[in-house]
């Protein structure tokens, strides 16, 4: 990981889950890390844990990526503290679990504001600095960015939009040295299902899956850091995720049925 020594990395949504695990992994690789989150207490608790790592240099910026001014603040405070930006990891995100016919449309707006616009805002203000370093912009997406998942209309829409945005950005910068990577972890042990919004826009509060059987956030983080080092284009994780994306290209109708049946079997499925 010597390629990352003294690199400055911004990770949004780093109070827990994949974001927090990524921050720790980048610190271990010798990076200076900026972590963001909406909850000041959770962010400070994560930072305290990270500071136990020898040589850790961390900046916390309390911010909501759905607010453009907050995203600009993240970049401004990073430059003021570290003087440059090498990597931006757009990780902040939220999910949902409800049938489109039942949900309040504010749910989809909230998901687009955080998952898509948060990525756009942060990338817009970080891009000039990252271009100076020929650095990396990373989008933490989902298999839902390749496949329309039932009960996740807003989530799939936001991730499809992220894919389109980052793909076009990559193409625009073929000759600038910018690295753009999209990572789709598949089902990962995290808090995202507990905070997923129901049809009324309230946090679900529980997960329909056995989280202990899923890929750990720490393992996902190792793939992401390695992907930045090797400047990979895309990463799709978990066997189920890889198979779903592959089969979706050739047998889309069959994958639709499988996705429907899988969601329908979940505890408290929106189809029940």
The answer to the question of residue 178 being in a domain is yes
pTM over 0.85: yes
41-50, 92-101, 257-266: which has the minimum mean pLDDT?
A: 257-266
The answer to the question of residue 260 being in a domain is no
CATH number of the domain enclosing 100: 3.40.50.720
Over residues 17-29, the pLDDT tens digits come to 999 999 999 999 9
Q: Give the DSSP letter string of 121-163.
A: HHHHHHHHHHHHHT-EEEEE--GGGTS--TT-HHHHHHHHHHH
pLDDT at 224 over 70: yes
The answer to the question of residue 210 being in a domain is yes
User: Looking at the 3D structure of the chain, how many domains does it have?
Assistant: 1
Count helices and strands (H / E) in the chain.
9, 7
42-46, 73-77, 184-188: which has the minimum mean pLDDT?
A: 184-188
- Residue 181 dihedral angles phi and psi, to the nearest 5°: -130, 135
The answer to the question of residue 237 being in a domain is yes
Q: What is the pLDDT of residue 210?
A: 55
**Domain ranges, residue 46:** 2-241
Active site residue 155: yes
The answer to the question of residue 55 being in a domain is yes
Name the active-site residue from 125, 155, 187, 223: 155
Closest CA to 115 of 40, 204, 192: 192
Q: How confident is the model at residue 190 (pLDDT cuts 50, 70, 90)?
A: low
The answer to the question of residue 63 being in a domain is yes
The answer to the question of residue 248 being in a domain is no
94-98, 122-126, 196-200: which has the minimum mean pLDDT?
A: 196-200
The answer to the question of residue 259 being in a domain is no
| Mean model confidence pLDDT for the chain | 92
Q: How confident is the model at residue 117 (pLDDT cuts 50, 70, 90)?
A: very high
More confident residue, 196 or 189: 196
The tokens describing 124, both together, are: 């817009």
């Amino acid at each position: 990981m010597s390629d990352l020594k003294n690199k400055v990395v911004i990770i949004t949504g780093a109070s827990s889950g994949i974001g927090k695990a990524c921050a720790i992994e980048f610190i271990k690789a010798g990076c200076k890390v900026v972590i963001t989150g909406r909850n000041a207490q959770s962010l400070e608790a994560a930072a305290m844990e990270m500071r136990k790592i020898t040589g850790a240099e961390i900046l916390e910026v309390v911010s909501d990526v759905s607010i453009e001014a907050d995203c600009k603040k993240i970049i401004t405070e990073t430059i003021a503290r570290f003087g440059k930006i090498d990597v931006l990891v757009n990780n902040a995100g939220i999910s949902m679990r409800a049938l489109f016919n039942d949900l309040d449309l504010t749910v989809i707006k909230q998901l687009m504001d955080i998952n898509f616009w948060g990525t756009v805002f942060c990338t817009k203000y970080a891009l000039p600095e990252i271009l100076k370093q020929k650095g990396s912009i990373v989008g933490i997406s989902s298999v839902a960015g390749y496949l329309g998942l039932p009960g996740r209309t807003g989530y799939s829409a936001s991730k499809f939009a992220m894919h389109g945005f980052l793909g076009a950005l990559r193409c625009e910068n073929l000759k600038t040295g910018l690295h753009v990577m999209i990572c789709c972890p598949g089902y990962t042990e995290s808090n995202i299902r507990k905070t997923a919004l129901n049809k009324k826009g309230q946090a679900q509060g529980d997960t329909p899956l056995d989280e202990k059987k899923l890929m750990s956030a720490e393992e996902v983080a190792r793939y992401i850091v390695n992907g930045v080092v090797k400047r990979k284009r895309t990463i799709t994780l978990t066997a189920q995720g890889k198979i779903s994306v592959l089969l979706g290209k050739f047998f889309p109708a069959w994958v639709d049925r499988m996705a429907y049946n899988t969601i329908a079997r979940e505890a408290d499925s929106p189809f029940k």
